[in-house]
Amino acid sequence: MQVVHSPKQALHEPPWETAGGREVPAYEVSARAASILAALGADGGFTVAAPGEHGVEPILAVHDAGLLRYLESAWSEWQRDGTGAPAILPDTILHARLREGMGDAPEPESPCGRVGHWCFDSATPIVAGTYDASRAAVDVALTAADLVLAGERLAYGLCRPPGHHAARALFGGYCYFNNAAIAAEWLARRTGEPVAILDLDFHHGNGTQQIFYERGDALYVSLHADPRRTYPYYAGHADETGSGAGRGANVNLPLPLGTADDAYVAALRIALARIAEHGGSTVIVSLGMDTYHLDPIGGFALTTGTYHAVGEAVASLGRRMIVLQEGGYHVADLGANVVAWLRGAEGRPPSA
Q: Which residues bind Zn ion (CB under 5 A)?
A: 201-203, 288, 290, 327
Determine the size of the site formed for ligand Q9C (CB under 6 A).
16
Q: Which is nearer to ligand Q9C, 19 or 267 (CB)?
A: 19
Q: Which stretch binds ligand Q9C (CB under 6 A): 50-58, 63-71, 145-153, 167-175?
A: 167-175
- Is 231 an interacting residue with respect to ligand Q9C (CB under 6 A)? yes
Query: CB under 5 to 8 A by kind: which of Zn ion, ligand Q9C, none does 20 bind?
Result: ligand Q9C
DSSP 351: P
* Distance, CA of 311 to CA of 341 (rounded, Å): 5
* Distance, CA of 333 to CA of 296 (rounded, Å): 12
Query: CB under 5 to 8 A by kind: which of Zn ion, ligand Q9C, none does 162 bind?
Result: ligand Q9C
CB of 193 to Zn ion, least distance (A): 28
Q: Where are the alpha helices (DSSP H) in the chain?
A: 30-43, 57-60, 65-81, 111-118, 130-149, 179-191, 206-212, 261-277, 304-315, 331-346
* Distance, CA of 122 to CA of 103 (rounded, Å): 25
CA angle 212, 179, 161 (to 5 degrees): 135
* Distance, CA of 10 to CA of 31 (rounded, Å): 9
CB of 143 to ligand Q9C, least distance (A): 20
* Distance, CA of 336 to CA of 204 (rounded, Å): 23
* Active-site choice (5, 54, 63, 165): 165
Query: CB under 5 to 8 A by kind: which of ligand Q9C, Zn ion, none does 297 bind?
Result: ligand Q9C
Quick note: the x/- pattern for ligand Q9C over 127-146, rule CB under 6 A, is --------------------
* φ, ψ (nearest 5 deg) of residue 323: -100, 120
CB of 38 to Zn ion, least distance (A): 21
CB of 12 to ligand Q9C, least distance (A): 13
Q: Are 312 and 345 in contact (CB under 8 A)?
A: yes
Catalytic residue status for 12: no
Query: CB under 5 to 8 A by kind: which of ligand Q9C, Zn ion, none does 131 bind?
Result: none
Looking only at Cα atoms, what is the longest distance across the chain? 62
Quick note: the x/- pattern for ligand Q9C over 308-337, rule CB under 6 A, is ------------------xx----------
Q: Which is nearer to ligand Q9C, 147 or 158 (CB)?
A: 158
Amino acid, single-letter form, for residue 36:
I
- Examine residue 161 and say whether the peptide bond preceding it is cis (omega within 30 degrees of 0): yes
Report the 10 Å Cβ neighbour count for 160. 27
CB of 287 to Zn ion, least distance (A): 10
**DSSP element (H, E) containing 252:** strand 250-255
**Under rule CB under 6 A, which residues in 253-312 are in contact with ligand Q9C?**
288, 290, 297
Q: Which is nearer to ligand Q9C, 43 or 201 (CB)?
A: 201
CB of 173 to ligand Q9C, least distance (A): 4
* Distance, CA of 296 to CA of 32 (rounded, Å): 13
Catalytic residues: 165
